[in-house]
Amino acid sequence: MNDQNIMENLLQTTKGACELYMHGTIESATQNVHNAFNGALRESLCMQDGIYQKMSQKGWYPMQQAEQQKITAVKNKFSTGMQ
């Protein structure tokens, strides 16, 4: 397993943890539980961002520029539904 594969696995695991913590935050029944999940979510999001930044710097997380036409179409679709 090379470094890129390890980083991809770390990123996927961290994203999964973020999802679980987000649901725990939303579904928590008490403020103490909410705060615990919310704190864990914030830490995991910071960790996820750090992993992403490292991968991006190494060219392991290529990004594509979205076409303006597609952006405008999605924007129009959702803006008409909110009026």
73-83 pLDDT per residue, tens: 999 988 876 65
Q: Per-residue pLDDT for 6 more than 70? A: yes
Q: Alpha helices of 1-83 — where are they, by DSSP H?
A: 3-27, 31-57, 68-81
pLDDT of residue 63: 84
Q: How many CB atoms lie within 10 A of CB 14?
A: 19
Q: How far apart are CA 37 and CA 32, in angstroms?
A: 9
Query: Which among 70, 42, 74, 48 has a CA at the least distance from the CA of 61?
Result: 48
pTM of the predicted model as reported, rounded to 2 decimal places: 0.75
Q: Show the tokens assigned to 56.
A: 């991006």
What's the whole-number average pLDDT of the chain?
93
Q: What is the pLDDT of residues 9-46, one digit of tens each?
A: 999 999 999 999 999 999 999 999 999 999 999 999 99
pLDDT of residue 64: 86
pLDDT of residue 82: 60
